[in-house]
């Protein structure tokens, strides 16, 4: 099975993005799971660009599972995001200098899209494996929520279908080691299979 892992580069106010390091580590074969081919890619912190790159990756790679990661400051656990909201609304610009306030992501799209996976069960598995984890129903209104909503929206349109999960990870300063996120990915994949 092919698994696409995505992370983001730094953005205004966040000079080091641990999800970029995550992407690099997986490219360097930091994890291996039998029968799984990992493809690890950065996606831009840009409302428009992230859609283009996501669509291209899905059609080129045709993954059966996409695990998307972004940094969430002010948190100390992995946060499995259960809900994408059809709204861009942030006080900072994206990396393409675009400021979006009160703007829908998909015109006439549903106001919210819930994740299709049983994330309560997955959270229990992660906790059992010693990976601090919470569920979250608020991924913000910046580019992470944009990717979460857009990828969830595209799920019903793209063939072959993919499963999708968005996870916010803490900053490294918050004492959350990269190895914990890597362990989390192994748990996610074994659970999904
Ligand atoms: N975190 C931001 C965007 C990129 C990232 O890693 C967010 O939470 O929206």
Catalytic residues: 81, 144, 168
Query: Which residues are CB-neighbours of 159 under 8 A, at least 6 positions away?
Result: none
Q: In which residue are the tokens 């080691």 written?
A: 177
Dist CA 75 CA 173 (whole Å): 11
Distance set, CA 34 to CA 30, 62, 66, 73, 186 (Å)? 14, 19, 17, 33, 11
Give residue for tokens 């609304």: 89
Q: DSSP letter at 172?
A: G
**Ligand 1 atom 8, closest CA:** 144
- At residue 75 the predicted structure's pLDDT band, cuts being 50, 70 and 90, is confident
For residue 193, the model assigns a pLDDT of 80
Pocket, ligand 1, Cβ cutoff 6 A: 8, 11, 17, 19, 45, 70-72, 140, 142-144
Per-residue pLDDT tens over the stretch 55-69: 999 999 999 999 999
Q: Which atom of ligand 1 lies at the shortest distance from residue 72's CA? A: 8
Q: Say what the pLDDT of residue 73 is.
A: 80
What pairs with residue 171 in β-bridges? Answer: none
State the CATH number of the domain containing residue 125: 3.40.630.20
Nearest to 57 by CA among 116, 17, 5: 5
Give percent above pLDDT 90 in the chain.
92
- What pLDDT score was predicted for residue 140? 97
Where residue 109 falls among pLDDT bands split at 50, 70, 90?
Answer: very high
Strand-pair partners of 39: 4
The closest residue, in CA terms, to atom 5 on ligand 1 is 70
Phi (first) and psi of residue 19, to 5 degrees:
-75, -20
**Which is the closest atom of ligand 1 to the Cα of 8?**
6
Torsion of CA 156, 158, 163, 165, to 10 degrees: -80
Q: How far is the CA of 35 from the centre of ligand 1 (A)?
A: 30
Name the region of 153 (left: φ>0; alpha: ψ -120 to 50; beta: rest): alpha
Is this prediction's pTM over 0.85?
Answer: yes
Rounded-to-integer distance, Cα 159 and Cα 172, Å = 37
For the segment 25-62, what is each residue's pLDDT rounded down to a tens digit?
999 999 999 999 999 999 999 999 999 999 999 999 99
- In a 3-state reduction of DSSP, which class is residue 38? strand
In 3D space, the residue among 121, 146, 126, 10 whose CA is nearest the CA of residue 78 turns out to be 126
Q: For the chain, what is the domain count?
A: 1
Mean pLDDT of all residues belonging to the chain = 96
Domain holding 168, by residue range, is: 2-192
State the pLDDT at residue 170.
94
Q: Which of 56-60, 82-86, 115-119, 171-175 has the lowest mean pLDDT?
A: 171-175
* Average pLDDT over every residue of 85-103: 98
């Amino acid at each position: 099975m092919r698994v696409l892992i995505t992370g983001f580069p730094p953005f205004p106010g966040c000079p080091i993005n641990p999800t970029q390091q995550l992407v690099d580590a997986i490219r360097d074969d930091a994890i291996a799971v039998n029968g799984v081919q990992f493809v690890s890619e950065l996606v831009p912190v840009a409302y428009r660009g992230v859609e283009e790159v996501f669509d291209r990756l899905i059609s080129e790679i045709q993954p059966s599972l996409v695990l998307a990661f972004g940094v969430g400051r002010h948190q100390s656990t992995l946060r499995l995001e259960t809900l994408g909201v059809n709204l861009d609304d942030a006080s900072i610009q994206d990396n393409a200098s675009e400021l979006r306030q009160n703007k829908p992501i998909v015109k006439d799209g549903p106001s919210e899209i819930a994740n299709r996976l049983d994330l309560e069960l997955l959270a229990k598995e992660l906790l059992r494996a010693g990976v601090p984890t919470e569920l979250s129903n608020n991924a913000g209104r910046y580019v992470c929520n944009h990717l979460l909503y857009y990828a969830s929206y595209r799920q019903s349109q793209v063939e072959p279908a993919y499963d999708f999960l968005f996870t916010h990870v803490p900053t490294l300063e918050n004492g959350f080691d990269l190895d914990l996120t890597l362990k989390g990915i192994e748990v996610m994949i074994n659970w999904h299979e």
